[in-house]
Amino acid sequence: MTVMRQGRIRRTTLVGAVCALVVTGTGLLAGCSEDADAGTNGVGKLPADTIQSKTRAAADSAEAVRLSGTVVTNGRTYTLDMRLKSGGGSGTVTSKGAAFGLLRIGEKLYLKADARFWNHADGNSESATSGTLDGKYVKVPQGDPSYKKFSGFTDKDVLLDGLLTLHGALAKDGHHEQAGTRTIRITGDKGSGGTLDVSLEGRPYPLRLERAGGAGTLTFSSWGKDFALTEPKKNETVDYGKQLPTS
């Protein structure tokens, strides 16, 4: 399957190169009008706004997805690697050099981090608390101010609703490729409002997003591939005992 896809991509690239260089008295060399959408799901022929609607619908209906990359919000950069589905999610978030893991199963949210994260949270380079929390799951109370923020990283609907938005007038920006999959790219405001690569193979899932204003770049993969969410064991869980940090 991969070999066939690579061969198709190489052939398309070769044809494009030949067509760019060779012309005859009546126009391009015969065969240079090959349909770039041949063998695809057909969304590349649709208007940009219709493509956006279809890719949003595909993303919303998918049972699961893996999301990785960077998100810039309120001047802070977060590096994400999350697997998400309707019942929760898990993965890692890094901000200001401190990484922490998140696990949400239903409404239960857990945060797991090393001593460096907790030292930073306590404002102490060698906090006694950090040694107890190092590598443990800390259950985040729903009443804690950090719950909404941290749970948002694990919520498929919340993240996709906030991310899969292009600003300004929509337009198509040609055929491209993302991780070996052919895509059609759509842009907002000629790119300044963000760009989104949509799969031309299978369902029209979003595969790569460049957010408007340099607010991060994300890739999407493993669409529809389920994964397990397992409650941490009791000996892996501790109580922080005070308000959790939000950074």
Predicted pLDDT at 120: 65
More confident residue, 196 or 246: 196
Taking the alpha carbons of 228, 234, 237, 242 in that order, is the dihedral positive or negative? Answer: positive
pLDDT digits (tens, 9 = 90+) for 123-173: 555 554 556 788 889 999 888 888 988 999 999 999 999 899 899 999 999
Residue among 210, 208, 224, 143 at smallest CA distance from 176 = 208
Residue 175 clears pLDDT 50, i.e. is over it = yes
What is the gyration radius of the CA atoms in the chain, in angstroms?
22
Distance from C-alpha of 37 to C-alpha of 131, rounded to nearest angstrom: 57
The pLDDT confidence band at residue 50, using thresholds 50, 70 and 90, is: very high
The pLDDT confidence band at residue 115, using thresholds 50, 70 and 90, is: confident
Mean pLDDT for the stretch of residues 173-195: 97
Residue among 198, 179, 160 at smallest CA distance from 54 = 198
Distance from C-alpha of 73 to C-alpha of 155, rounded to nearest angstrom: 17
User: How many residues does this entry show for the chain?
Assistant: 247
Residue among 165, 166, 208 at smallest CA distance from 190 = 166
Mean pLDDT of all residues belonging to the chain: 84
34-42 — which CB contacts under 8 Å span 24+ positions?
36/12, 36/175, 37/175, 37/200, 39/8, 40/182, 40/200, 40/201, 41/199, 41/200, 41/201, 41/202, 41/203, 41/204
Tokens of 144: 């804690």
Other C-beta atoms lying within 10 Å of the C-beta of residue 62: 20
